[in-house]
Amino acid sequence: MRTVIIYSSNTGNTKKVAMAIKEVLPRGTEIYSIEKAPDPDNYDLILMGYWVDKGNADIKTRGYINKISAKTIGLFGTLGANPTSDHALIVKKRVEQPIEKKNRLIFHLLCQGKIYEEALNKYNKMLEEDPSNAGTKAYIENFYKALNRPDKKDLEYIKNEVRKKLNNMDLLQT
């Protein structure tokens, strides 16, 4: 079983998750940032990490996904929103669509990631203009919730889920 981890990460959240997943896999498992990603045809199992950009996987991940066919794929992603929110569920479906057509998707895990600083400035400006806007207040609250994510608990959760899934499918060979 030739396995590779590929991750796309702008500010480091998804990279943290990718590094945690590497700990679960056999020693020497290859890991690459998307910028240095090898040809997917060299592998059987591809663990693919993305960050959520405007309701979809980031553009680099989408480009890479288009090149993959007839592989076993595990997806993981980070986003600013709550991973169990409606927004997250919509994103998941959107990301899965082009993969499921041509591949076997075995898991898709999301976890919350710190939101870029400029977003807070934007929310604060919005609140200045409309101080009673509940939606903006919720954005600000969520910004602070996400501040230290992914945290240790998130990473343990992801590791456990990946370990369970790969073990159950006999894909975790040492």
8 Å CB contact between 51 and 81: no
User: Which two tokens mark 76?
Assistant: 């993981």
Amino acid type, 62? R
Q: Which of residues 135-164 bind ligand FMN (CB under 6 A)?
A: none
The residue with tokens 């998130």 is 154
Asked if 59 is part of the footprint of ligand FMN (rule: CB under 6 A), the reply reads no
Nearest distance from C-beta of residue 5 to ligand FMN, angstroms: 14
Q: Give the per-residue contact string, 80-119, with ligand FMN (x = CB under 6 A; - = no).
A: xx-------------------------------xxxx---
8 Å CB contact between 7 and 35: no
Nearer to ligand FMN, 98 or 169 (CB): 98
Measure the CA–CA gap between 90 and 7, rounded to whole angstroms: 21
Q: Which of residues 19-48 bind ligand FMN (CB under 6 A)?
A: none
Nearest distance from C-beta of residue 44 to ligand FMN, angstroms: 25
DSSP calls for 53-80: ETTEE-HHHHHHHTT--S-EEEEEEEES
How many residues contact ligand FMN, by CB under 6 A? 19
8 Å CB contact between 113 and 146: yes
For helices 152-168 and 13-24, angle between their N-to-C axes, nearest 10 degrees: 40
Nearest distance from C-beta of residue 121 to ligand FMN, angstroms: 13
In the chain, the largest separation of any two C-alpha atoms, in whole Å, equals 57
Give the Å distances, CA to CA, from 36 to 40, 77, 80, 81: 12, 18, 25, 28
The residue from 79, 95, 155, 162 that contacts ligand FMN (CB under 6 A) is 79
Nearer to ligand FMN, 4 or 79 (CB): 79
The residue from 4, 6, 13, 123 that contacts ligand FMN (CB under 6 A) is 13
Residues that bind ligand FMN (CB under 6 A): 9-14, 51-55, 78-81, 113-116
